Each structure stands twice: as C-alpha cells, then as structure tokens.
A and B are shown apart, each in its own frame.
Chain A
Amino acid sequence: MKRLRTHRVLASVAALAAVVSLPACGAEVGTERSGASAVKPVVSADAVKVGLLNSLSGTMAISEVTVRNSLRLAIDEINADGGVLGRKIVPVSEDGASDWPTFAEKAGKLVRKDRVAATFGCWTSASRKAVKPVFEKYRSPLFYPVQYEGMEQSPYIFYAGATTNQQIIPALDYLKKEGVKSLYLVGSDYVFPRTANKEIRAYAKANGIEIAGEDYAPLGSTEFATITNKVKASGADAVFNTLNGDSNVSFFKEYKSAELNPKELPVVSVSIAEEEVKGIGAQYLKGQLTSWNYYQTTPSAKNKSFVAAYKKRYGADKPTSDPMEAAYTSVYLWKAMVEKAGSFDVEKVRKAADGVTYDAPEGKVTVDGETQHIEKTARIGRIRGDGLIEEVWNSGGPIKPDPFLKSYDWASGLS
C-alpha cells in the first residue's frame, strides 16, 4: 500500500517535470497545445469588470440601446445589493457601431486588455458570429440576449434569448391548434428568415399544413403592395412574418390598406416587440399576433418591479420588451453561476452553470448546462390598441432548449 503511494508520487513528479520542460523545447508548440491564449479575468478585492458590447451608433442602435439600458439597470441593482461575491460590478462600455468587424475588435479589447470576467451584448446573428471565435480563443464567456435561428452552440456563449423550439415552433403549434391549414411566409432576405422558413416548411410538411407561398424582400425594402396582393390571392389562413426593421412598417400599412384583417388572416411576427409596435403604429397592428417569451404585461411580481424600475430610470413612455428582459436576466444568471461556483474563474463558472435558476420577469428560467441555452416559457401575444401586447397562450412551463432540433423527427434533414 505504501509502496503504491510512493510510485504514484514519483509518477506525478515525472509528469510534472515533463510538462514544465515542454515549453523549453518549443515555446510555440506549448502555446498551441496548452491553449495558453485563455485569458484569466482580473478580479480585485472589491471590484470585478464586465464588458458591455452593444451598438450605440448605426442602424442597430435603435434596438441595442434598449438592451444596454436594461443591462445597466441590472448591474446597478446588483451593486446596490452588495455586488457579486462581495465585489462591485464595474461595467466597461464598448460601442459595436452596427459593424461586425468592430464587434470582433472590441470583443478582443474587452477580453485581453480589460480582462473582463464576462461580456454581455450583441444583437444580430452576424455580430454574434463575428465575436464567437474571439470569445472561444480567449475562453471568455459572452451572454447573448436575443432570440435567434438556432443551429449553434459554443462553449463560451450563453444564449439567454429563445432558440427556434422556444419561439417559432410554439407559434406553429399555436396556429395548428387554431386550425390553420395553409400558411404564407413573408420574410426579409437574409440568414435568419431563410433559416427559419426552412424549419417552418419542414414542420408544415410533417403536420399537414400547406405552404401557400413564400416571399422575401430585401432588408430596408418599403414596397409591399405586390406581396400583399399575393397573400390576399393565396387563400392562406395565416401569415408567418420574419420581416425585420422598416419593412414591417410598410407591410402592415399595406396590409390594412388591402382591408386584410387579423380575424380572417392573422399575421404572426417574431421580430415585433413593444418597441417596434411604437414605430409602426398600434393602429395598424391591433389584433395581430407575436411570439416571444416575455411581454411588458407578463403577470409576475418580479416583472412589476422590473417595469417600474425601468420606467423610473428611462422614462414613463419607454416600454420593456423581450430582448431587454433577456439581457437583464442574463446578468442575474451570471451572478448566480458565479456564486454557485464560488469563483469568477471561467471554467468553474461554466461547470456550475447547469441547473442555475433565476426568478426572472418572464417567470422562472433555468440554465441548461449542456447547450448553454436557457429553459424558457413560450408566449403567444396579441397586440392591443394601446401598443402593448397581451398573452393569449403560453407553453404552460419552460421549454427545454433544443438548438439543433434533435428531438423533432421532422427536423432530421435540416442541420
């Protein structure tokens, strides 16, 4: 027994010696192999830095500024409450400027120069894809707050927004339940709508729903008379809308002009939240459907205090929306993970992530350690005349994230 232990100690010493001597024989090889590029966050006795990476200028600023606002709100609340592991959170702000290479550059700066413990931000899938290799290379976590098209999983990204099976599939389930037999797909011409519509087509095929038509308009396009005519003539029961930005305004104005109405031909949108309703006009949207995980009207005690705090700080006319709530929640989830790990060390935090829960404004959310996505409740909402959205259906409880749609037979050919 004793001899065995001696052997073990000897072996360990030998192994250690080998490892120590390795860099000597080839420093480059050593760097590559051991992944020395991992940057450890710097945490002082009373402060911990986190990065905030959002577009504060350019076309995406409209949306991303609201996310930045709710991130700041969460950080200040946590600091007022004693911080994380006794340390105040010090946010380091960077502007991604709606430009994907800028996002990558600023991500590198946050991780290498500021050595932040975590970064919160990005909106478009393009910006997320641009920063992904940076966070993976330096092994630093990014918390991403927006619903996206799925089919992605990175060990250094936590996806706080919905993936496909928490937003689009529940919306389809709802339409099927409502007796929709024929669906018209309208989307902007880029990666998210095209990917989403591929998934919708597969779902429709498996569920006996006919796709009456599929149309794409370039981003920023504002001429929707023809598409509206096509929708009207198609005989579809509902429209699935993945348009983004200004196109939505023209589309819904045209829709109303053509005397189409949400009773006979409802439109389900996945990119219109409370903030967008304000820009389009509730006059044009009243009665139309949306699919998200959170609305300003979501009835939870936590949401009441979140909405009140947000309005107090940023103005009574400012609505709260799903991505803002997800961003707010992601800061609290990071705090909970760090506290569970008892450390700011990235690998320890990642290991602790599974099963971490938070009573968010949208209801209880749980981190799924395997996919690093969040279990969320899907909610279908109807837009009201006052511009807010009220829930008409929910999934009854949090849905386990399935970014690659592995648990759906009909999706087998997609990824």
Chain B
Amino acid sequence: MTLLFTQSFTGVSIGAVLLLIALGLSLTFGQMGVINMAHGEFIMAGAYTVYVVQKGISGAGTSLFVALPVAFLVAGAMGVLLEWLLIRRLYARPLDTLLVTWGVSLVLQQLARDIFGAPNVQTAAPSWLTGAVPLPGDLALPASRLFILILALAAIGALAATMRLTPLGRRIRAVVQNRDLAKVSGIPTATVDRLTFFIGSGLAGVAGVALTLVGPIGPAMGTNLIIDAFLVVVAGGIGRLRGAVITAFALGLLQAVFEYATTVSTAKVLVLAGVVLYLQWRPQGLFTLRTRSLA
C-alpha cells in the first residue's frame, strides 16, 4: 500500500518534470511549429542561472526564488535572440530550422564548457527541500518532487491564463490558427512570434531551475532532456497545451509502473514503443487543433 502510494507519486512527479521541460516546447514547437533543438540548452541556461545566483546570494532558499524569475528572463532573452538572429529567416523551412538550432545547441554547450568548465557544477538546495514531507500513516513524499509538482502546476496555470485571458494570448492563438488572416486583421505577427518564443524559452529556464533539485547541472544536461520534451509534445497533439499536460502525466505514470515492474532500461523501451503504437493509431496525437487553414 505504501509502495503503491509512493510509486504513484513517483509517476506523477516524473510527469511534472516532463511537463516542465515540455511546456515551453509546446509553445515554440506546438504553437509556432519551430523545431528548436536548442530548447534543452535553454533548460541548461536556467540551471546554470541558479549556480550563478548562488555565487551572489548565499541563502539556498532565497537564491532559489530569486533564480526563478532571473532564469525565465535569461532563457527568454536567449530565445528572443535566437528567433531574431536565425529562426525568423527560416519560418518556411522547418528542416533547415532543425539543423540550425541543433548547431546552436552545440555552440551553447561549448560556451557553457568554456565559461563554467566541463565538469558538472553543484548548487546548494535549501534544507527544507532535501528531505521528505511526512504524511499521516507512515507515508512521506520527497519535498523536492512536491516542489516541482507545484511549480509545474503553477507554470501551466499561468500559461493557460495568459493564453485565455490576455490580449497577448488571444493574438498568439489567432496567429497559430491562421497567420495570414491574423496579419490582415492588423496583428503584428512578427512581434507576436517573438513574444511567444520569449515565453516558451523562458519556461525552459524555469524548468532548468527545478531540475537543479533532482538532476545534474552540466554542459550536456540539455541533450538528455530534449527527446523527452519532443515526445510529450508530439504525443500530446501539436498545438494543444491540454494534450501536453495529460500526456506528460500519463507518460510519467506509465514509466513509473514499467520501471517498477521491469528495469529502467526496459521501461524506456516500453514507453517509447507505447508512444509509437499510439501515434500509429492517432497520428495527430491526443488532441488535435481544428482550424480553418488548409495546412
């Protein structure tokens, strides 16, 4: 019973990590159709932000909360720079975008190596995030995982609110649904693109901050995450936030079950095979965006 509970929570928390790393991508790839292979390096930038902030602010708890908005801005700014320098010239050429952003990801990894050194770096976690939160009935939940879950839910809430309630959100949706029509309606599509990319990349930075609590912080950390992020967005249905949320938690739970029943290696294979089969049945993913555009 205890095990069932902790294992379900593990599944949910794996889902929360997946959601955080995929959330930004569901905007840039899902909404804008940009295959950004450097997304993982924006996550890395967020993680290194914690490291840099901790050089200035000693309190592990304070620095974590300072690092959250800073990482959002840093990664977001990197995203805007990337969009402005390269991606906007390649909107009609998705395959070129893939190659270019992959190149950018390699450049960013090397930059991180040159600035911070090739070995992993460590950040201090606040003491209230390194233990477990006790629950009634001899149960306990890892505090770091709980924090990531809350952060993921907060991020998705903020993003959903932005998309639904703000003028910016309306414009983003308009551009996604029909770019030409949005343009003739007077929406500055280029500016909207840049803002979308800013938010999407910024969310990657936030994910990076969260990952310092559970994983390594090093130049290559992004490459381990990018596949999972694309997996969630593709299986969830391109352009649908709801799809990404449900898929992230479903994949997390599946992974936890398979890992428990078999081994981590086998679980990875099974989850991947499951997604492949699922996409055979529903090539558009969990949710599809019905638009009037011909594309």
Contacts and interface: CB of A to CB of B under 8 A. Distances in A.
Contacts of A229: 3, 6-7, 10, 260
A265 to B, nearest CB: 14
Interface string A381-412: 00000000000000000000000000000000
Interface stretch (A41-49, A57-65, A150-158, A368-376): A57-65
Interface stretch (A6-14, A15-23, A278-286): A278-286
B213 A253 contact: yes
Given A59-B220, A225-B145, A259-B132, A278 B122 contact: yes
B28 to A, nearest CB: 23
B140 interface: yes
B119 A279 contact: yes
Contacts of B268: 218, 221
B208 to A, nearest CB: 13
A37 interface: no
Contacts of A62: 118-120
B177 interface: no
B118 A65 contact: yes
Contacts of B213: 253
Nearest to B213: A253
Contacts of A85: none
A298 interface: no
B119 A189 contact: no
A226 B216 contact: no
Chain A, interface residues (CB within 8 Å), range: 35 or more
Interface in A215-274: 215-218, 220-223, 225-227, 229-230, 233, 246, 249-250, 253-254, 256-259
Contacts of A282: 122
A148 to B, nearest CB: 22
Contact of B131 (A233, A259, A279, A281): A259
Between B118, B121, B140, the greatest number of chain A beta carbons within 10 A of the residue's beta carbon is seen for B118
Contact of B122 (A189, A256, A281): A281
Interface string A349-368: 00000000000000000000
Interface in A278-309: 278-284
Given A216-B264, A217-B264, A259-B131, A222 B122 contact: no
Contacts of B229: none
B123 interface: yes
Contacts of B125: 253, 283
Interface string B10-29: 10011001000000000000
A258 B216 contact: no
Nearest to B269: A218
B30 to A, nearest CB: 23
A275 interface: yes
Nearest to A245: B216
B132 A254 contact: no
A246 B119 CA distance: 10
B137 to A, nearest CB: 16
Contact of A225 (B2, B3, B13, B218): B13
Contacts of A283: 122, 124-125, 130
A229 B8 CA distance: 11
Contacts of A249: 120, 215-217
A227 B224 contact: no
A-B pairs with lowest CB-CB distance, top 3? A279-B120, A257-B142, A281-B122
Given A62-B119, A278-B119, 16 more contacts: A61-B118, A215-B263, A216-B264, A217-B265, A221-B264, A223-B14, A225-B14, A225-B142, A226-B10, A226-B259, A229-B3, A233-B2, A233-B3, A246-B218, A249-B216, A280-B216
13 contacts: A218-B264, A221-B268, A223-B259, A226-B10, A226-B260, A233-B2, A246-B218, A250-B214, A256-B131, A257-B145, A257-B214, A278-B119, A278-B122
Interface of A: 59, 61-62, 65, 189, 215-218, 220-223, 225-227, 229-230, 233, 246, 249-250, 253-254, 256-259, 275, 278-284
